Structure 1
Amino acid sequence: MASTCAKATLALLLALVAAVIPEPGDAQVSIHPREAVLLRGGSMRVNCSSSCPKDHSLGLETQWPKDELESGPNWKLFELSDIRETSRPLCYENCGTAQSSASATITVYSFPEHVELHPQLAWQQVGKNFTLSCLVDGGAPRTQLSAVLLRGEEILSRQPVGGDPQDPKEITFTVLASRGDHGANFSCRTELDLRPQGLALFYNVSEDKLLRTYDLPAANPKLHTPDLLEVGTQQKLFCLLEGLFPASEAQIYLELAGRRLTQKSTKGRDFVSTTALLEVTEEFDRTLPLRCVLKLADQILETQKTLTIYNFSAPVLTLSQLEVSEGSQVTVNCEAHGGALVVHLSGAPPGPPTAQVQFTLNASSEDNKRRFFCSAVLEVAGKLLSKNQTAELNVLYGPRLDERDCLGNWTWPEGSQQTLKCQAWGNPTPQLTCRQEADGTLLPIGEVKAVKREMNGTYKCHAFNSNGNVTRDVHVIVLYQPPNYWAIITGALVVVIACLVGIAVYVYNHQRKIRKYKLQKAQEEAMKLKAQAPPP
């Protein structure tokens, strides 16, 4: 706003512009300035003058306080002060019997005393409209006053204020909330446009209001946890909600029977989740309500389910003896506890489920390493749960050497590769050896050997352990051809004759080469003698 000095200077500058308004009659009255623009509460000087040559009474009619500063024969200078609103001061005179007047227009402007954006912005849901109000108190002229809604520096809407400057005016704006509005500052700005009057565009801005927006899916959080929890176990409770905004400002927690659990939360771009580990103890009630609660803005989403706590021990499977000798009696017993029922015990006769099932058997070698299986069921919240138990029987018995595992007769060709396959059964595992009856030669079992005719014969295979021993005869027949002496003699004669023929041929060829050599030398000597003889 301008100071008092600036106001007076503005009034004097405007007073330099004069306009003469002719009035009926012989005289004329003029007022200077004819138009003025003045800040509310300011002052200005008005000059009233007349062309009346006679005696006249010259005055100024106005609603504002005035002081006559100077005067002359045909003029008077007045100062108006504390001008509060637009008005039309009037210069008048009585010239003889005629009356005349001239008026000026004083346009008063003022800045809004208060500009406020309300209500205080709370969370707004994305995709829905919300209303903002700009309260403007004061400001004139209203015809040149506008209210502008701003998001940061961006203009969203502009509306004229209008109305009486003495009355506060509320201008409403409708905004569609979006994710981009989250964290944005909104404000209301008034614009007083006095450029047509040769002044400027004046602004008043309200305080910023922070807007936060949110977006929630139609679905509630998803609880991932079993309905049934067994005492003595550790269970993972997990809750997740996807498709929300802003996930970073959401709160999510798990609550069991009204008690918030210790948990770890995770937040992503558009999801939140929480995980809790629960130690299930006997202190819990049989049924417990579990809630997953999500809070965002002023919204609460929750999912609830009922957890059933149960205690189910595995059935107790016992053998009267875990290790027995063949022929001993063994009692097999299976017992369930805590309301469970035994529904199956291997080896027991069929019957309805009961809390205990047992039977007795005479242990045989076929029962060695036999596994007994017991199954019990418990009904919890309409569901059948089962648990199993197993036990193994160890039966001690003497060695067995059966025909199928140790053949009594083996026929092998001499020189072939063969393996003696002989296995003894028993518990503990028996030791087994096979020795030749004649000389006690050991025949390795399970090893690949080249068959020799010396292997031919009967072997005693002996198996023994702490529960006894057993012997079995094994006959090995080696097939081979006896030697053919005539063939050997004939072969030797053939070799001797061949050698003699070879020697004779060698001697003959050698003597022939010597004779040929001597003949060649004699011919050479004759040629030499012939060449040395004198010519006839």
Structure 2
Amino acid sequence: MRTCHSLLALFTVILAYQVQSQDLMEVKALSSHLFVPYGEDVWVNCSTTFANETVYKSRLKKNETQRGPNWLAVKVHVDDWENSTLYCILDKGNNQHILSPTIVMAYALPSNVTIDLPTKLEEETQYKISCKVYDVAPLEYLTINITRGEDVIDSKSFEGPHVANKTTASHIYYYTAGRSDNSMNFSCEAILQLGPLTKTVKSSNITVQTYSLQEKPIITVQKWIENGTSVTAKCSVANGFPPEDVDLNMLIGDTKVDVNTVQKGGGTVEGTAQLNITYIKLGRKDLTCESHLFTLSTRNAMDVFIYELPTVSFALSRDIVDLEENVTAECNVTNNPETYDPDPETSDPDAETYGLFISVDGKEEKMEQGSMITHTFTASRRTRSLDIMCTAYMIANKNISNSSTQTLEVQYPPEFSESLCPSTFVFVEGKKKIFSCDASGNPTPTVECNADGNSINGVAVRTRDMSGIYTCQAKNQKGIVVKIVTVTAEYAPMSPTVTISTNVTIRTGNSLNITCHSDGFPAPMYSWRIPNDAEVTYSPDKSSMIIHTAARTHNGTYTCVTKNVHGQSEAMQEVTIVSDIINIAVIVCSVVGLLVSLVIVFLVCHYFWKKNRKGVYNLLGIERRQSPQKGKIKSESSVNKTSSV
């Protein structure tokens, strides 16, 4: 009650203020429109200058009326869905009235708001979003929004005519799902815009999960699988979303195999299966991979071929033959071709399963389809052994094959070749080198190389005296062959010999020829070191030079240098050039020297001639002539002294 009295006092103040501020208005409703929940009471107020002459008229039931000095209030019960107009009427007398209306409208908030949308949405697929608003009124003030997260993706506002009761409204919106919608909340909301009031009722949220499976699986496995083996097969699906919900199944024929699934980068899911192949009937089989994601599925298949490796039986008519003899090879496949199911891709049901070919020394010589082949060939190559191979293969896939090899020994007479026994053998003197000469042949031939009774094969040669022409002979049970081999020694140049055409001392103006020779192999090359400014003319190989007109500039040392790949050597020669005066003096001195020499020779000869004279001489007379006549007479022994000359 206190609240009501407070409100009435407040209305009194407001109405008094309005009456005073609007002298021309004698009565006025406080609100032109009122929205009231259906079944509830509401106070309707108006201001008036004469409260006692003012009344409210309405078809709604009035439960209570109150008046103030300048206002009138009435509480009415809203139980009509039709809009009701309440009139505040001031009776001025003389049938004159002043009216101020207030329209009262009943409303009802929705009893429920629902949204209908699948929780799992396939990407790039359109879905219907259905919103329903139950027991709402009035409909013309209703707006239905469809929200995605915080965003309104669609909206519908209802218009008249006025529906005089509660009603259920609905709205349908078609939406295309995308990857960005994953884990988003979708909802519907009902909004009643009641004048300045906004009433909102929302549905519960639906959290959606988007998914996509647009690509077929990719199968990775070897197409040809040997029976009795185990191989790994892989199946991968790209861009599946969400990848953790992608399921992979694999089958070979009608048999399901276990698949281990892992997630790869970029939304790829890969499944791995181990195929243990054990079949009684061989041939083409279907390998299938299926991917499943919620309501979606994709499938892919490929053919694999189950085979067994061909078993080969192979034999030769002879194991050892002479050169140019014939041999027959026979080869068979022992597998049973009936273990294979007929291939639906082959039009001929009697088509051969296997093929065979025979190779001689790596060269294919004969090929046939079927399980048996024979081939006769000639052993025409000089080789100690020939590999004869038979290969069995599957006609549908030549890479599936098996081989058997037999070795044929070929015998033939000896033969020399440059690679085994060169016609020329060169060694460097002083360096050890083994002389080697071999010959091809089967059986292995013996080889001997001789010159003047000396054997050289397998001997280390060092000196040039081992050079010469050798006869090499190769021999085995199939024949004998001979070859001539020249053995040559190479060595560095020997010390050169320098000769001149005249004396080492020549007069100016004369000519002089200087020649150099050195022994070496390969033949040495010649070069000279001569005095500066000396003009000479060389021979083409520079082994000699000519001084055409001797001059003092030719005086000096002339050095001959010889060189080849193994070394070099050199020798010097002094040359003296003199003028004509010096030549005369030299001649005079030479003549004088000759005469002096002759005198000396004469004196020496005379001395020895004199010394070699023999006999007895009486030297007494001489002594007497040499001794004074006085004194003692010498003894007889002295007188009889002899001298031998």
Q: Does 1:188 align with 2:188?
A: yes
Answer whether contact 1:40 1:84 (CA < 8 A) is retained.
Answer: yes
The residue aligned with 1:425 is 440
Q: Does 1:369 align with 2:369?
A: no
Aligned pairs (5 A) from 1:56-135: 62-63=59-60, 67-68=63-64, 79-81=75-77, 85=81, 86-88=83-85, 104-126=102-124, 128-135=125-132
| 1:452 equivalent among 464, 467, 470 | 464
CA distance in 2, matches of 1:113, 1:68: 31
Tell me the SS of whatever aligns to 1:171.
strand
Residue 112 (structure 1) shift: 2.5
Residue 166 of structure 2 aligns with an amino acid whose one-letter code is Q
Aligned pairs (5 A) from 1:408-487: 422-427=437-442, 432-436=447-451, 438-440=453-455, 442-444=456-458, 452-456=464-468, 458-459=470-471, 461=473, 475=484
Answer whether contact 2:355 2:369 (CA < 8 A) is retained.
Answer: yes
Tell me the SS of whatever aligns to 1:111.
coil
Q: Which runs of 5+ in 2 are unaligned?
A: 19-25, 338-352, 490-496, 507-572, 590-645
Residue 160 (structure 1) shift: 0.9
| 1:144 equivalent among 137, 141, 144 | 141
Q: 1:173 to 1:11 in 2, by over 3 A?
A: farther
Aligned pairs (5 A) from 1:257-268: 257-268=254-265
CA distance in 1, matches of 2:173, 2:423: 111
Tell me the SS of whatever aligns to 1:112.
coil
Q: Does 1:391 align with 2:410?
A: no
Residue 246 (structure 1) shift: 5.4
Residue 77 (structure 1) shift: 6.7
Q: Does 1:166 align with 2:162?
A: no
Superposed CA RMSD: 5.8
| 1:345 equivalent among 348, 351, 358 | 358
> Per-residue CA shift, 1:156-185, capped at 9, x if unaligned?
222114574612111122323333333322
Deviating more after overlay: 348-357 vs 274-283: 348-357
Residue 105 (structure 1) shift: 2.3
Answer whether contact 2:120 2:211 (CA < 8 A) is retained.
Answer: no
The residue aligned with 2:306 is 309
CA distance in 2, matches of 1:400, 1:93: 152
Q: Which has the larger radius of gyration?
A: 2
Q: 1:110 to 1:61 in 2, by over 3 A?
A: same
| 1:254 equivalent among 240, 250, 255 | 250
Tell me the SS of whatever aligns to 2:266.
coil
CA distance in 1, matches of 2:238, 2:409: 61
The residue aligned with 1:229 is 225
> Per-residue CA shift, 1:166-223, capped at 9, x if unaligned?
12111122323333333322222233334x44x4x33322222223444554x64444
CA distance in 1, matches of 2:248, 2:329: 54
Residue 440 of structure 2 aligns with an amino acid whose one-letter code is W
CA distance in 2, matches of 1:376, 1:89: 111
Residue 334 (structure 1) shift: 1.6
Tell me the SS of whatever aligns to 1:180.
helix
CA distance in 1, matches of 2:56, 2:499: 177
Answer whether contact 1:396 1:426 (CA < 8 A) is retained.
Answer: no
Deviating more after overlay: 160-169 vs 277-286: 277-286
Q: Does 1:355 align with 2:371?
A: yes
CA distance in 2, matches of 1:10, 1:140: 29
Q: 1:375 to 1:304 in 2, by over 3 A?
A: same
CA distance in 2, matches of 1:8, 1:210: 51
Q: 1:345 to 1:149 in 2, by over 3 A?
A: same
Residue 134 (structure 1) shift: 1.5
Residue 344 of structure 1 aligns with an amino acid whose one-letter code is F
> Per-residue CA shift, 1:51-87, capped at 9, x if unaligned?
7999x9x8965555x5447799x99975445757553
Deviating more after overlay: 167-176 vs 256-265: 256-265
Residue 304 of structure 1 aligns with an amino acid whose one-letter code is A
CA distance in 2, matches of 1:247, 1:496: 110
CA distance in 1, matches of 2:451, 2:144: 123
User: How many percent identity over aligned positions?
Assistant: 19
> Per-residue CA shift, 1:219-241, capped at 9, x if unaligned?
64444545543314554534455
Tell me the SS of whatever aligns to 1:254.
strand
Q: 1:89 to 1:230 in 2, by over 3 A?
A: same
Residue 118 of structure 1 aligns with an amino acid whose one-letter code is D
The residue aligned with 1:400 is 414
Q: 1:15 to 1:306 in 2, by over 3 A?
A: farther
Residue 131 of structure 1 aligns with an amino acid whose one-letter code is K
Residue 491 (structure 1) shift: 7.2
Tell me the SS of whatever aligns to 2:167.
coil
The residue aligned with 2:544 is none
Answer whether contact 1:59 1:93 (CA < 8 A) is retained.
Answer: no
Q: 1:75 to 1:387 in 2, by over 3 A?
A: closer
CA distance in 2, matches of 1:102, 1:477: 148
Tell me the SS of whatever aligns to 2:111.
strand
Q: Return the TM-score normalized by structure 1.
A: 0.64
The residue aligned with 1:334 is 331
Residue 368 (structure 1) shift: 3.4
CA distance in 1, matches of 2:417, 2:277: 60
Q: Does 1:290 align with 2:287?
A: yes
Deviating more after overlay: 307-316 vs 236-245: 236-245
Residue 159 of structure 1 aligns with an amino acid whose one-letter code is K
CA distance in 2, matches of 1:276, 1:366: 55
Q: 1:89 to 1:320 in 2, by over 3 A?
A: farther
The residue aligned with 2:201 is 204
Task: Identify which of structures 1 and 2 has the higher relative contact order when contacts are C-alpha pairs closer than 8 Å and 6+ apart.
Answer: 1
Q: 1:91 to 1:378 in 2, by over 3 A?
A: same
Aligned pairs (5 A) from 1:499-518: none
Q: Which runs of 5+ in 1 are unaligned?
A: 21-27, 481-487, 513-536
CA distance in 1, matches of 2:3, 2:147: 32
Q: Does 1:154 align with 2:169?
A: no
CA distance in 2, matches of 1:403, 1:244: 72
> Per-residue CA shift, 1:471-526, capped at 9, x if unaligned?
7655556799xxxxxxx9x9799889999x98x999x88x99xxxxxxxxxxxxxx
Answer whether contact 2:436 2:458 (CA < 8 A) is retained.
Answer: no
Answer whether contact 2:421 2:438 (CA < 8 A) is retained.
Answer: no
CA distance in 2, matches of 1:372, 1:225: 35
Residue 314 of structure 2 aligns with an amino acid whose one-letter code is L
Residue 225 of structure 2 aligns with an amino acid whose one-letter code is L
CA distance in 2, matches of 1:305, 1:83: 76
